[in-house]
Amino acid sequence: MRSNQLTRILAGLRAPASSLCGAARRGVATTIATATPRWNPVPWIRRGPSALTWAAERPSFRRGLALKSSASSSSSSSSSAPVEVSVDVLVREEAVGLGDEVQLASATLERDCEQALALALQRKGPGSGCGSVEVSVMVTDDEEIRELNSTWRGRDRPTDVLSFPNGEAPPGYHAVVLGDVVISAQTAMHQSEERGHDLQKELRILLVHGILHLLDYDHEVSAEAEAEMAREEARILSALGWAQGGGLIAEATERPAVRLVALDMDGTLLDSGVRVPGKNAAALEELKRRGVEVILATGKARPSALLACEKSGLSHLFSEMSPGIFLQGLLVHGKGGEVLDRSFLPPSVVREAFQYAEEENVACCGFLGDTNVTLRAHPRLTELHERYYEPESVVVSSVEEIVAQDVYKILFYGDDAGVIEGKVKPHWERNLPEGARLTRAIPEMLELVPDGTSKASGLKRLLREYGISAEEVLAVGDGDNDLEMVSLAGIGVAVDNATPSLKEVADHVVSSNDECGAAEAIWKFALRDQP
């Protein structure tokens, strides 16, 4: 196989690509995304004795089923002389190990790529004077494509197809090297089952999508560009008799409609003034009008969440009769407002937390549901009540008085983010007691919550109640406490002010909370319309 960009990537080198695309994540109806930023090309490694030796020193790259390497065919472009198409196909050992179906379905990929590329070059080619075009195709498993997806797109999870357009070859080189298409057989198998067709058809659909990205089609640029790429997918697949009605982009638009929207509050639905902006409110109204369930999924206590909505004139949308996920998923209310699930901290954790707060003079309160308790009044706890609408913290005389009650979670509130990051968080990371875990929604705060719980666990409980699948959910958040929920949802979205870790797992990033990113996500991904 030629030593092109794919070889360098798999060998562990960090050669930039001009663009790449990951079309879907496993287990979710196809989500289209083109990675940014685009990288500038670097000098291309020519094939020759040194390159061959360099590749041979990495036998892990060469392991696999090589399929008739470097076959060729000719294509007649509408704007140039016939172009020779040279295709390299490698089926990785890990993919072969998935079963005979993968090997059989992959056996035609070389010829499939020749035919698809020949048709694609009729509409958009490398330019006049080009006599030969090279492309590589690799079939691998979820783990390897996850590593590539993480390295090049910042998405640490599997995807179905990645495209790596290549840098320019040195002057005088005999061919234009378009780049590489990497396909996960594992995800392709899953998607073929979901869509009711065989693996070979799914591989062909992914192959065509990847090839078009190599030719600079980009469905993320604009609606017009998306339509152009969708038409070209459909044209090629139909002409070759592989699929009727469209390709990967068309399949994406046919995904199940969003039936439930789960929204974090602080930093997401609420702006910096802790109010719901007008655009967000209008988007919520439209969701309700169209019959889409809207769920608050927040770290707030239920009374404070409802009060924040009341202050923004949304009591008709969220009330005591509404479902919701509160206290980081520790309290879940279903249809009619009834309690579906609740979780409490072990008493020993509560005792240890308040003892630490007293020794270190850190503001601390325990959440009991509709009320909060503390051992000592503190300006930060007053702010928690007045700014964030959380229940006022009632001062009690002893730790044992608190321990005797059911405590959902403990919240530490530092004078600034540095106190939490440099002092409180390191202590609890070193001394985390059994039955508890840490979570964080706001930089100045740190929470101890029962282990095994999260907004995602609360969302799963609600989905069972409604008979809705995770694939039919849009979830929007900003903090690390939203990680599991955004990962679970069929469409996971981070606002622009979100933590880097949340942006990494999200399918999409929208505008910040102060720029009504929640409304943007709702209109774009749930309503699929413009306000």
Question: In angstroms, rounded to a whole number, what is the distance separating the alpha carbons of residues 53 and 296?
Answer: 58
List, for residues 122-171, the tens digit of each pLDDT value: 887 655 445 678 889 999 988 898 888 888 877 777 788 999 887 566 66
DSSP bridge partners of 292: none
Q: Residue 79 burial (CB < 10 Å; 0-12/13-18/19+)?
A: exposed
Q: Report, as an integer, the average pLDDT of 74-98.
A: 69
Confidence of residue 341 (pLDDT cuts 50, 70, 90): very high
More confident residue, 107 or 47: 107
- Residue type at 122 in one-letter notation: Q
pLDDT at 459: 97
List, for residues 437-473, the tens digit of each pLDDT value: 999 989 999 999 999 999 999 999 999 999 999 989 9
Structure tokens at 382: 């007053």
Domains of the chain: residue spans and CATH: 5-253 (3.40.390.30), 260-342+454-527 (3.40.50.1000), 347-450 (3.30.1240.10)
- H/E element holding 238? helix 223-239
> Torsion-angle region of residue 336: left (phi > 0), alpha (psi -120 to 50) or beta?
left
Question: In angstroms, rounded to a whole number, what is the distance separating the alpha carbons of residues 151 and 174?
Answer: 31
Would the CA dihedral through 178, 89, 175, 77 be positive or negative? Answer: negative
Decide if pLDDT at 10 tops 50.
no
Q: Which of 190-194, 311-315, 439-443, 492-496 has the lowest mean pLDDT?
A: 190-194
pLDDT at 125: 61
C-alpha pair distances (Å), 208 with each of 119, 460, 483: 10, 36, 33
